[in-house]
C-alpha cells in the first residue's frame, strides 16, 4: 500500500510541477522575446511619458500594444501584475517531487554502490549541498564579474566551468540517473534563487522608491534583467537533464558526465540562437543561425558517439540462437524478482511466476532490453548478454515460448 500511495504522490507532484513549469518558462520566453523585439516608439507622447520601447502584436483575434519604460513610469499604476508565483511553485513542486522519490528512497535512487559506496544519509546531505553551493558560487561570480566590461562572457565561462565540475563530481558520487537529475535541479534552484533574491527584491525596491517619490535607481532594473537573461539560458539545459531519466543509455556509460555537459551545452547554444534571432530581426541584421547549427552538430556528434558498435561475429552467432523461456526465467529470478515478487510488486509488476513473466513481457522488454532502465541503478548487476537474451526472447514471440 505504501508503494501505491507513493506512486500517487509522485504522479500528482509531477503533474503539478509540469503545469507550473510551463507557466514559468512560457512567461520567461515571452518576456525575453518581448525585450528583444521592442522598437523605439514613434509617438512623441509615448517618448515623453518615458516609454523606451513598444511592440504591436496580434494574437487570439485581438491586437496588443505592450510598452516598456526605460526605468519606471512617472507614477505607480493602481494595478500591477507580478511574475513570481510561477517560479516559486515550480521550485517547491520540484523539490517535493525530488524529496518523495530520490531523498525518501535514497538507498535505491541516489546510491549506486558500483559508483560510490556510501550511506543514504551521506548521499542526501551531498545532494542538498549541490543545490546550495551551486547557487552560492554562481551568485559570487555574478557579484564579482557581472559589471565588468566583458562581464557576460566571464560569467558565462564561469557558469560553464561550474556545470562541468558539478557534472563530473555528481557522476562520481551518485547513480547516473540521479546525477543527471541533480545537475538539472542545481541549475533550476539557481533560477528560482535569482527570482527570489534579486529579480523580485529589485522590483520591490523600484516600486517603493516610486511610491515614496524618490528617484529610481536604474541598477535594480539592470540586475533583474541580467539574472532574467541568465535564467533563459538555463532553461533548455535544465529541461534536458530532467528528461534524461527516461533514457538509460544516456547516463549508464563510463563518460556519462561528458554526455550531460554536451547535452546542456547544445541546449544553451540553441536557446542563444533564438535570443540572437529576436535581436537580429528587429534590428534588420542577418539572423545568426550558427549557434543553433553548432548545437545541433553537438547532438549529432553525441548520437554517433553513443551509437552501439556493430555486433561481433560471436554476438551475431549468439543473436541467431533462439532464447528459451527457461533461460529468461533464470535471468529474471536472479536479477528482477528481488523487487518484483508477491510481497513487493514495484510498479504493480510481479515476476515470480512464469505466467506473470509472460503477462508483463512487453514491460520487461521495454525497461530491461530497450531503455535499459531496470534493474534500478543496475543493483543486481544484469549483464549486456542477459539483456540481449531477453530481447531475443521477446522479439521471437515471448508469449508463445
- 371 band by pLDDT with thresholds 50, 70 and 90: confident
- 165 band by pLDDT with thresholds 50, 70 and 90: very high
pLDDT in tens, 24-42: 999 999 999 999 999 999 8
CB 176 within 8 A of CB 102: no
Closest listed residue to residue 329, CA positions, set 241, 401, 229, 278:
401
Percent of the chain with pLDDT over 90: 61
Beta carbons within 10 angstroms of residue 80's beta carbon: 8
Closest listed residue to residue 191, CA positions, set 235, 127, 156, 133:
235
Work out the widest C-alpha separation in the chain, in whole angstroms.
84
Average pLDDT on 50-60 reads: 93
Given a cut of 60, whether residue 399 has pLDDT beyond it is: no
Q: State the pairing for strand pair 67-69/51-54.
A: antiparallel
Q: What are phi and psi of 181, to 5 degrees?
A: -65, -40
Q: Which of 301-334 are b and which e, b meaning 16 or more Cβ less than 10 Å from the residue's Cβ? A: ebeeeeeeeeeeeeeeeeeeeebeeebbbebbee
Beta carbons within 10 angstroms of residue 50's beta carbon: 14
DSSP string, 279-309: HHHHHTPPP-THHHHHHHHHHHHHHHHHSPP
How far is 171 from 191, CA to CA, in rounded Å?
Answer: 22
Predicted local confidence at residue 299, as pLDDT: 97
Closest listed residue to residue 27, CA positions, set 101, 105, 86, 103:
86
Average pLDDT on 307-328 reads: 81
Q: What are phi and psi of 232, to 5 degrees?
A: -70, -30
Predicted local confidence at residue 400, as pLDDT: 58
How far is 328 from 386, CA to CA, in rounded Å?
Answer: 8
Classify residue 385 as exposed, middle or buried by CB count within 10 Å of its CB (0-12, 13-18, 19+): exposed
Q: What are phi and psi of 340, to 5 degrees?
A: -130, 80
Rounded to two decimals, the pTM is 0.86
pLDDT in tens, 186-245: 999 999 999 999 999 999 998 999 888 888 888 988 899 899 999 999 999 999 999 998
Predicted local confidence at residue 1, as pLDDT: 65
More confident residue, 94 or 320: 94
Predicted local confidence at residue 314, as pLDDT: 76
Average pLDDT, the chain: 91
Left if phi > 0, otherwise alpha if psi is -120 to 50, otherwise beta: which for 77? beta
Distance of alpha carbon 125 from the chain centroid = 21
pLDDT in tens, 243-297: 998 888 899 888 999 999 999 999 999 999 999 888 887 777 888 889 999 999 9
Predicted local confidence at residue 401, as pLDDT: 53
Beta carbons within 10 angstroms of residue 391's beta carbon: 16
Predicted local confidence at residue 322, as pLDDT: 79
Amino acid at each position: 500500500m505504501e508503494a501505491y500511495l507513493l506512486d500517487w504522490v509522485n504522479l500528482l507532484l509531477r503533474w503539478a510541477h509540469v503545469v507550473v513549469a510551463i507557466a514559468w518558462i512560457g512567461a520567461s520566453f515571452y518576456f525575453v522575446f518581448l525585450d528583444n523585439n521592442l522598437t523605439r516608439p514613434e509617438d512623441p507622447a509615448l517618448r515623453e511619458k518615458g516609454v523606451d520601447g513598444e511592440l504591436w502584436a496580434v494574437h487570439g483575434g485581438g491586437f496588443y500594444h505592450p510598452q516598456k519604460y526605460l526605468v519606471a513610469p512617472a507614477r505607480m499604476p493602481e494595478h500591477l501584475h507580478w511574475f513570481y508565483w510561477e517560479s516559486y511553485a515550480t521550485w517547491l513542486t520540484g523539490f517535493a517531487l525530488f524529496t518523495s522519490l530520490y531523498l525518501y528512497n535514497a538507498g535505491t535512487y541516489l546510491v549506486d554502490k558500483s559508483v560510490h559506496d556510501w550511506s543514504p544519509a551521506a548521499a542526501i546531505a551531498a545532494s542538498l549541498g549541490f543545490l546550495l553551493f551551486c547557487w552560492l558560487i554562481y551568485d559570487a561570480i555574478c557579484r564579482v564579474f557581472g559589471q565588468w566590461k566583458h562581464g557576460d562572457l566571464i560569467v558565462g565561462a564561469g557558469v560553464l566551468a561550474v556545470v562541468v565540475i558539478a557534472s563530473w563530481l555528481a557522476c562520481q558520487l551518485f547513480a547516473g540517473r540521479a546525477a543527471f537529475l541533480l545537475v538539472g535541479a542545481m541549475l533550476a534552484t539557481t533560477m528560482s534563487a535569482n527570482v527570489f533574491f534579486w529579480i523580485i527584491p529589485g522590483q520591490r525596491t523600484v516600486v517603493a522608491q516610486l511610491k515614496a517619490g524618490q528617484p529610481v535607481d536604474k541598477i535594480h532594473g539592470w540586475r533583474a534583467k541580467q539574472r532574467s537573461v541568465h535564467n533563459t539560458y538555463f532553461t533548455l539545459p535544465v529541461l534536458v537533464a530532467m528528461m534524461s531519466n527516461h533514457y538509460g543509455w544516456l547516463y549508464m556509460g563510463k563518460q556519462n558526465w561528458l554526455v550531460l555537459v554536451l547535452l546542456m551545452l547544445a541546449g544553451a547554444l540553441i536557446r542563444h540562437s533564438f535570443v540572437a534571432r529576436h535581436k537580429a530581426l528587429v534590428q534588420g541584421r542577418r539572423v545568426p543561425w550558427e549557434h543553433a547549427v553548432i548545437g545541433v552538430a553537438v547532438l549529432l556528434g553525441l548520437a554517433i558517439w553513443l551509437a552501439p558498435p556493430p555486433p561481433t561475429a560471436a554476438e551475431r552467432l549468439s543473436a541467431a540462437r533462439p532464447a528459451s523461456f527457461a533461460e529468461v526465467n533464470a535471468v529474471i529470478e536472479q536479477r528482477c524478482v528481488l523487487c518484483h515478487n508477491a510481497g513487493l510488486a514495484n510498479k504493480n509488476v510481479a515476476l515470480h511466476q512464469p505466467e506473470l513473466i509472460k503477462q508483463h513481457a512487453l514491460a520487461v522488454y521495454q525497461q530491461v532490453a530497450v531503455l535499459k532502465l531496470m534493474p534500478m541503478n543496475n543493483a543486481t548487476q544484469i549483464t549486456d548478454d542477459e539483456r540481449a537474451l531477453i530481447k531475443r526472447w521477446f522479439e521471437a514471440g515471448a508469449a508463445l515460448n
